[in-house]
Amino acid sequence: MPGTLIAEVTTGNTPYTSAIKDLRDCSLANLFGVSDDPHFDPERLGRVFRQNLKDSISPVFDRDVSFWVPEYQRRYTWGAPTVKRLIDDIAATCFGRNREQYYPIGTIVLTPGGGWVPNSFSIVDGQQRLTTLTLLIAVFRHLATNNDDKTKYSDWIQMKDQRHVPYRLRLQTQYDEVFCKFLDGSDLRGIVEEEVDVRATPIGKLMADNILAAIETIDTITGRDPVKRGDLAEFFFKQCRLLVIYTHNLHTAYRMFTTLNIPGIPLSTVDYLKAVILGKLENFSTSGVKLKARTWNSAENRMVSREAFSELVDHIYRIEIAKNDDREAFLESFQKALGNTESLYHHFMFESFDATTLLSCIDKMSNSWKAMINASSSKWSKVLGNKSRRHLIEFFELGNLWRTWATIALAAAEQNLAMVQEDAFWNKLDRLIAILIVSFKARGTGMTKEVLQTKLLEKFWRILKAVTKAGSDQSKILAALDPEADDVKCCERRLQTNLYTAAGRVPTLYILARINAHMSTSRVHIESWNDDIEVEHFYPQSPNDTEWPPGKFDSDNTHKLGNLALLPTVTNRECSNYAWKTKVNRYKSNGGGVAVEFAVTYTAMAAGEWNDAAFLDRHTTLMKYLVEIYNFEALKPRLDRPVAPTPSQQSQQPNRTTTVRQNKNDTKRLKKQNRTQQTQQTQQPV
């Protein structure tokens, strides 16, 4: 609805001011004041923003408007795939058989003021679109073959009066310089090559990658035809329609942001929560809101990625509801949906939780998290090389249920930070997770995955609640990390027997990776333990008689720890069911010439052949490592006994891989011998 004005209305005797001050359907050309816009003339603009006239719109509005991304906003994040998809969609509309008159490109929420020049607007929502569109105009200018077109495209993005700012769109201070370099236009290709360099800033490289993707996509679509390229540029600037919403101030802008996005394009929990929380800060001045927003953004930056920050918010929520003893909310939090406004998560985070308290938690917890991950300060020097800490951080990927270890660690840090800076805490937390993950799988029949997960979450709930109730008492916090006796027994039993089939692939990976860290002096960097690494069975799960003749290895030991190792997925595929010596050669150098880096694997390669004796020796060694790492007291006496027979003893042992028929014949023969002996004994004189 172009030009619709929503102003003050009256409900009964009470005047009510809508959150929307003005709503426009316009093109980028209209927004930047390049094309005539009868729905946005100076008279109307002054009327709409009369309350903010001094701060934002000059009395004589000359259509030279600038748009600013506030300091508290997150940085530009759109990547090349998104940019290419946008260009493809717009080109399909522009050049399609049934050409549409316009292409809807989304919503932008603005609030007056924000820049330090007259006629400026702050972008509360839509900075990703506006930044991308502005960069694309710079690309069209770069591709233009005549000076008239280049000048025209420059006019689209440059201010008429450049005394204050040169371009219509300005980013945050720390990103604006590199953004303006791309808009300068003197040598776009050279600037791009500069910013793709490894020394460049992340934001510069991101924009450079997007520009290269845009050039390639536009050239492909237009066939480098200057006329077709010009048509696409005109459509881009004048026919892509934006729904622009102008609000009274920052508070109403954030409220508008959440209202628009609930039924529309899905937002991340972080974006949605941020808008709600900042919109609640009615008692703060605009500068106060900006300060709080900067606090939020600083916390996001500490977390490296938005996915990690989103997980941090989940950790905070679970810690808070543990303090409130809300078990149901804790269990539900692992299945929450953002769109479900009736969820306990939604009610607590978006309605009950005080905004300033949440911001304080985010600031404090993000600092704790960064310190735990990096351990770079002197206070964390004691745990810098702690292998349990590293193992927990590196093994579980974001979003994994087992990342609840981080919830427990953050809760403990909130109660007693000094304790979390000691080895004892991390060793005990690693032991707890190891025991739980190995004993997690069903121990009997009739246990569905959902039932098992609920049982595990119940355990995590009790642990977290005990930590949050312990206060600063170190002994109570450490006691909360003690696993249940049944879980310890189950774990010890599975470690000694068929670990792989009883516990599963991921728990086996966890145990082998931890042993590997214990054996190694250097770290092996793995992008994804779940995707890049496999559990290798030295004696294969499905051996063939040619490669593995019967009688050399007891197949009952196939899935036990002593027969298992770590391999890169690609090497694991190459090894298949090959004989031992062939496998060892692949371990030393796979098809790509890469050798196995895992100590837990290459230390076994010295064995001339893989047989029962080699297995028993390695199994005992690895179990002793686990006793050292996790202090399994019940296993110590068993491991002190000699278990690996000598080669001569090995040759005298009965072949346990003989057929069932042979075993039955042996049994019959023994019974017959016993009966004969008994008969002879009865016939002897007394």
> Which whole number is the average pLDDT over 599-613?
91
Same domain? For 408 and 530 the reply is no
Same domain? For 453 and 595 the reply is no
Angle 580-586-588 from CA coordinates, rounded to 5°: 105
One-letter amino acid at 121 equals F
> Residue 242 gets which letter from DSSP?
E
Choose one of 445, 480, 515: the last residue of a domain.
480
- The answer to whether residue 492 is domain-embedded is no
pLDDT of residue 339: 45
pLDDT of residue 644: 42
- The beta-carbon contacts of 213-219 under 8 Å, at least 24 apart in sequence, are 213/80, 213/81, 213/83, 213/84, 214/83, 214/84, 214/87, 214/135, 214/136, 214/139, 215/139, 215/142, 215/143, 217/83, 217/84, 217/87, 217/88, 218/87, 218/139, 218/140, 218/143, 219/143
- The answer to whether residue 235 is domain-embedded is yes
Could you tell me the CA-to-CA distances from 590 to 174, 534, 571, 593 in Å, in that order?
A: 46, 15, 6, 5
Distance in angstroms between the alpha carbons of the first and the last residue of the chain:
119
Same domain? For 472 and 618 the reply is no
Same domain? For 427 and 531 the reply is no
Same domain? For 360 and 214 the reply is no
Find the radius of gyration of the CA atoms of the chain.
34
Same domain? For 314 and 365 the reply is yes
- The answer to whether residue 98 is domain-embedded is yes
Could you tell me the CA-to-CA distances from 449 to 45, 337, 440, 454, 493 in Å, in that order?
A: 60, 20, 10, 9, 22
Same domain? For 200 and 341 the reply is no
> Which whole number is the average pLDDT over 524-550?
86
Tens digits of per-residue pLDDT, 56-103? 333 333 456 788 887 667 778 899 999 999 999 999 999 987 677 888
Structure pTM?
0.69
Distance CA 104, CA 80 (A): 20
Weakest mean pLDDT among 296-300, 437-441, 497-501, 681-685: 681-685
Q: What percent of the chain has pLDDT over 70?
A: 74
Distance CA 282, CA 272 (A): 18
Contacts of 607 (CB under 8 A, 6+ apart): 580, 614, 618
Q: Is 104 helix (H, G, I), strand (E, B) or coil?
A: strand
Distance CA 90, CA 92 (A): 5
Give the domain extent around 377. 293-480
Distance CA 495, CA 562 (A): 10
Whether 392 contacts 408, CB under 8 Å: no
pLDDT of residue 552: 83
Same domain? For 443 and 335 the reply is yes
Looking at the DSSP assignment, which residues form a beta bridge with residue 535? 566
Tens digits of per-residue pLDDT, 124-145? 788 899 999 999 999 999 999 9
- The answer to whether residue 96 is domain-embedded is yes
Instruction: For residue 531, count other CB atoms closer than 10 A to its CB.
Output: 10
Angle 347-350-353 from CA coordinates, rounded to 5°: 85
Same domain? For 512 and 398 the reply is no
Which parts of 28-137 are beta strand (E)? 66-68, 103-112, 120-125
Q: What is the dihedral of CA 223, 227, 228, 230, to 10 degrees?
A: 120
- Is pLDDT above 50 for 654? no
Q: Is 304 left (phi over 0), alpha (psi -120 to 50) or beta?
A: left
Same domain? For 454 and 600 the reply is no
Q: Is 66 left (phi over 0), alpha (psi -120 to 50) or beta?
A: beta
Distance CA 591, CA 303 (A): 38
Q: What is the dihedral of CA 338, 344, 349, 354, to 10 degrees?
A: 160
Which ranges of 197-268 does DSSP label H, i.e. alpha helix? 202-222, 226-238, 250-261
pLDDT of residue 354: 84
Distance CA 440, CA 442 (A): 7
- The answer to whether residue 570 is domain-embedded is yes
pLDDT of residue 647: 38
User: At 249, is the pLDDT very low, low, confident or very high (cuts 50, 70, 90)?
Assistant: low
| Length of the chain measured in residues | 686
- The answer to whether residue 675 is domain-embedded is no
pLDDT of residue 96: 83
- 131 burial via Cβ count (<10 Å: 0-12, 13-18, 19+): buried
Whether 244 contacts 37, CB under 8 Å: no
- The answer to whether residue 33 is domain-embedded is yes
Which parts of 592-659 are beta strand (E)? none
Q: What is the mean pLDDT of the chain?
A: 79
pLDDT of residue 300: 83
Same domain? For 461 and 511 the reply is no
> Which whole number is the average pLDDT over 458-473?
96
Distance CA 453, CA 331 (A): 10
- The answer to whether residue 287 is domain-embedded is no
Whether 83 contacts 27, CB under 8 Å: no
> Which whole number is the average pLDDT over 205-228?
94
Distance CA 205, CA 198 (A): 8
Residue 537 φ/ψ, nearest 5 degrees = -100, 115
Whether 312 contacts 366, CB under 8 Å: yes
Q: Which of 433 and 17 is assigned the larger pLDDT?
A: 433
pLDDT of residue 80: 94
Tens digits of per-residue pLDDT, 343-374? 787 778 877 888 888 899 999 999 999 999 99
Q: Which of 239 and 262 is assigned the larger pLDDT?
A: 239
b/e string for 28-47 if b means 16 or more Cβ within 10 A?
Answer: bbbbbbbeebebbeeebbee
Distance CA 671, CA 675 (A): 6
Q: Is 409 helix (H, G, I), strand (E, B) or coil?
A: helix
Number of domains in the chain: 3
Q: What secondary structure does DSSP assign to 329-387, as a single string? A: HHHHTTS--TT-TTSHHHIIIIIIS-HHHHHHHHHHHHHHHHHHHH--SGGGGGGTT-H
> Which whole number is the average pLDDT over 443-463?
83
User: Which of 676, 675, 674, 619 has the alpha carbon at shortest distance from 645?
Assistant: 619
Whether 366 contacts 302, CB under 8 Å: yes
Same domain? For 237 and 355 the reply is no
Whether 272 contacts 261, CB under 8 Å: yes
- Is pLDDT above 60 for 203? yes
Percentage helix, strand, coil for the chain under 3-state DSSP, each rounded to 5: 60, 10, 30
Contacts of 682 (CB under 8 A, 6+ apart): none
- Is pLDDT above 60 for 609? yes
Weakest mean pLDDT among 150-159, 198-207, 212-221, 381-390: 198-207
pLDDT of residue 69: 85
